[in-house]
Chain A
Amino acid sequence: MVGLIGRLWNLPYKSIVKEASGKTLAVTKFFCVLHITNTYLCTFALAYGPSMIPTFNLTGDMFLAERLSIKFGKVGPGDIVLLRSPESPRKVMVKRLLGLESHSVTYVVDPMNSDRCDTIVVPKGHVWVEGDNIYNSRDSRQFGPVPYSLLEGRVFCKIWPPKEFGSLMKSGMKDPDL
């Protein structure tokens, strides 16, 4: 008992505290860098749902999305973008950007039932997004053009599943120049 107290008394507290704070600082720095990268540079996301078939599968593909293009305004029609849903603020969706402000967008109103097309001019400060699978996608055809500030990232690379690894082509199935 006395020996235990004696050993406790003689522990090199200074160096333990120093080492612990050094390691904590390293971990904190790591998380800071991770947070900054995630918020300002590049993030990864998991997409599930049928709205972007065949580009993304039903059961969930992982991809990387970068944020710099959005901040500098360098996105254009044909890009796949991450955006906050205008109907559910906590939900983030993945859609394809089809038109920027003052672009004239032609879309199929209800592809399941008819071939009727409609044309709309995208208002200032807004963008038009649609899923690749227009038969089963909730996008600008339902909730209208979305404000540009709702865009969160531009998808540039799919990382899961491994056999579909690779950068995503700009046009995919929907070539806006056709």
Chain B
Amino acid sequence: MIPTFNLTGDMFLAERLSIKFGKVGPGDIVLLRSPESPRKVMVKRLLGLESHSVTYVVDPMNSDRCDTIVVPKGHVWVEGDNIYNSRDSRQFGPVPYSLLEGRVFCKIWPPKEFGSLMKSGMKDPDL
């Protein structure tokens, strides 16, 4: 999730109400349970809700080839901000909405980076 979160570990607050009421949208950073390892929780950016059409770069290290997919019902598409080194929906596909655990809204450590996280960051889904 570089550059939004550092390699060495940042602390942040995540709230759960948005998930329960369905108020998350593309551009939000979310906590989710990994579909591959049930005990692991990951932090990724939400890029598409159900029935959204998502365009993603398949293998940014080697080529510029893009692919478009329509997110199936009940699922979401998540990607890390650092697409060169991130295991996300490009590898394991869209994840069911129920795997979302929280929405990150505020970084609290390190102190000089304290503050609320902007919705878009580097990846603006409206561009």
Q: A86 and B75: CB pair below 8 A?
A: yes
- Inter-chain CA distance A148–B96, complex, in Å, is 11
Judged by a CB distance under 8 angstroms, whether B47 is at the interface is no
Q: B36 and A125: CB pair below 8 A?
A: yes
Contact string, A124-161, partner B, CB cutoff 8 A, digits 1/0? 11100000000000000000001111100000000000
Known: A84-B98, A86-B96, A147-B96. A125 touches B74 (CB 8 A): no
| Residue on B nearest A127 in the bound complex, by CB | B38
Q: A88 and B36: CB pair below 8 A?
A: no
- Inter-chain CA distance A84–B98, complex, in Å, is 7
- Inter-chain CA distance A89–B72, complex, in Å, is 12
- Inter-chain CA distance A177–B94, complex, in Å, is 33
Q: Which residues of A contact B35 (CB under 8 A)?
A: 125-126, 147, 149
| Residue on A nearest B99 in the bound complex, by CB | A149
Q: Which residues of A contact B34 (CB under 8 A)?
A: 125
B12 → chain A closest CB, angstroms: 21
Chain A residues bordering chain B, tally (CB within 8 A): 15
Q: A87 and B73: CB pair below 8 A?
A: yes
Judged by a CB distance under 8 angstroms, whether B8 is at the interface is no
- Inter-chain CA distance A118–B85, complex, in Å, is 36
Q: Which residues of B contact A148 (CB under 8 A)?
A: 38
Judged by a CB distance under 8 angstroms, whether B46 is at the interface is no
Judged by a CB distance under 8 angstroms, whether B104 is at the interface is no
The 8 Å CB contact of B74, one of A89, A123, A149, is A89
Q: B96 and A146: CB pair below 8 A?
A: yes
- Most chain B CB atoms below 10 A, which of A85, A126, A146, A147: A147
| Residue on B nearest A73 in the bound complex, by CB | B38
Q: B33 and A87: CB pair below 8 A?
A: no
Q: Which residues of B contact A88 (CB under 8 A)?
A: 73-74
| Those 5 A-B pairs whose CB atoms lie nearest each other, nearest first | A86-B96, A87-B74, A147-B35, A89-B97, A148-B38
Q: B-side interface residues toward A, CB under 8 Å?
A: 33-38, 72-75, 95-99
